[in-house]
Amino acid sequence: MSSAFEAVVGAYYLDSDRNLTELRLIMTYFFDAVLSPELSPEDEPPIYVDAKNQFQVWVQANFNSLLPHYVTDRIGGPDHAPEYLAKVFVAQKIYGEGKASGKKEAEKKSRS
């Protein structure tokens, strides 16, 4: 569910031409009950949350809006503690790899 919500919010942000004021409107609608009254429109959230996001921004800026492609495989571990290896590619060239107990974490570690 969180991935779907993130995708919807990200799409809304991109569709509104990266307008944080527009994004705040929808976020206020969803989270009005939990938003701190101290927040103001001048409070800018960090643009780069983790290495994976930073890398995606860099790739889009340097490769004519291409997106990184992640290949994630389970490489071992028991069912209750699997281990995954993620590799990130841009234009069929590998740019990094990472190991973790979850697919998303392995992808993040592939660019940390």
pLDDT reported for residue 39: 54
pLDDT reported for residue 71: 93
Distance of alpha carbon 85 from alpha carbon 94, whole angstroms: 13
Count of positions (residues) in the chain: 112
List residues bridging with 100 in a β-sheet.
84
DSSP element (H, E) containing 91: none
Q: How many helices (H) and strands (E) does the chain have?
A: 4, 3
CATH class (in words) of the domain with range 50-112: alpha beta
pLDDT at 110 over 90: no
> How is the chain split into domains, by residue range?
1-45, 50-112
- 24-77 pLDDT per residue, tens: 887 777 776 565 555 555 555 555 566 787 888 888 888 887 889 999 999 998
pLDDT at 88 over 90: yes
For 38, the 3-state DSSP assignment is coil
Q: What percent of the chain has pLDDT over 90?
A: 26
